[in-house]
Structure 1
Amino acid sequence: MAIADDLKQYNLITYILYILGFIIGVTPFIAIVMNYIKRDEMRGTWLESHVDWQIKTFWISLLGYIIGGLLTMILIGFLIVFVVFIWHIYRLVKGLIALNNNQPVQA
């Protein structure tokens, strides 16, 4: 298996870990560590966009969920959590489709 194929497989695993995070809360934290570990190895390849995409998705989603969670006391938080959830799913699906098509993620 070529190095690019190994890195693509690695990206697929991290996407799956992010998806599993909706059921098993700890897996996105494993995935983000994995992203940072392999980030330099993917520089200059079409897979670099996937690592950057996943990292950005993780941090923005985490921030959104925290803010939404804190604001649930005044009810607007439920809307924020819902919007972040939909955005989070969109980003993961869009990234997986691009990965499956051997293409970089287009923002």
Structure 2
Amino acid sequence: MNDIIDVQSNEQKAQGLKNIGWVSYVLHLIVAVGAVLPGAQASALLLVIALVLDLVKRGDAEGTWQANHFSWRIRTVIWAGVLYIVTAPFWLLGLFLFNPVWVVISLWFLYRIVRGMLAMSKNQAVDA
């Protein structure tokens, strides 16, 4: 009888992690689309919320295919942040004008989020 309860709780845990993953991916997607489309800039606060959510819940996903998604999203945000910071002087030198480097970073960020969402929709880990 305990085995049945454990199986149900594991299934519930897996579904809960997947729900959290979808919330995080959607928040990332809003920010990524806002970064690519002019005038549609989403708040960085959404990205911080998604990052904190991923950092807090990552431990719960250890040993599952979903752990890969938590790491994928965290690495994506950290790398994008580092790239934006490193290239910020180019944006400042351009007097806040169009920055092709930031466009490339934003497109890369959007690609990674969509790629992760597609893998999650198939219940698969993201191929790194």
TM-score with structure 1 length normalisation? 0.91
**Residue 104 of structure 1: how far off its partner (Å):** 0.3
Give the aligned partner of residue 115 of structure 2.
Answer: 94
Root-mean-square deviation (CA, aligned residues, Å) is: 1.7
Query: Residue type of the partner of 2:85?
Result: I
Counterpart of 2:101 (choices 57, 72, 80) is 80
Unaligned 5+ residue runs, structure 2? 1-10, 35-41
1-side partners of 2:83 and 2:45: how far apart?
17
Query: Residue type of the partner of 1:50?
Result: H
**Residue 24 of structure 1: how far off its partner (Å):** 2.4
- Residue-by-residue CA offset, 1:53-87 (whole Å, 9 max, x unaligned): 00000001111122223212158x81220110110
State, as a whole percentage, how many aligned pairs show the same letter: 29
Indicate yes or no: 2:22 matched with 1:12.
yes
Give the aligned partner of residue 62 of structure 1.
Answer: 81
Q: Contact 2:29/2:113 (CA < 8 Å) preserved in 1? A: yes
- Residue-by-residue CA offset, 1:26-76 (whole Å, 9 max, x unaligned): 10101111111011100110000000000000001111122223212158x
Give the aligned partner of residue 29 of structure 1.
Answer: 48
**Residue 19 of structure 1: how far off its partner (Å):** 1.7
Give the aligned partner of residue 52 of structure 1.
Answer: 71
Number of residue equivalences? 106
Give the aligned partner of residue 8 of structure 2.
Answer: none
TM-score with structure 2 length normalisation? 0.77
Q: Contact 1:68/1:79 (CA < 8 Å) preserved in 2? A: no
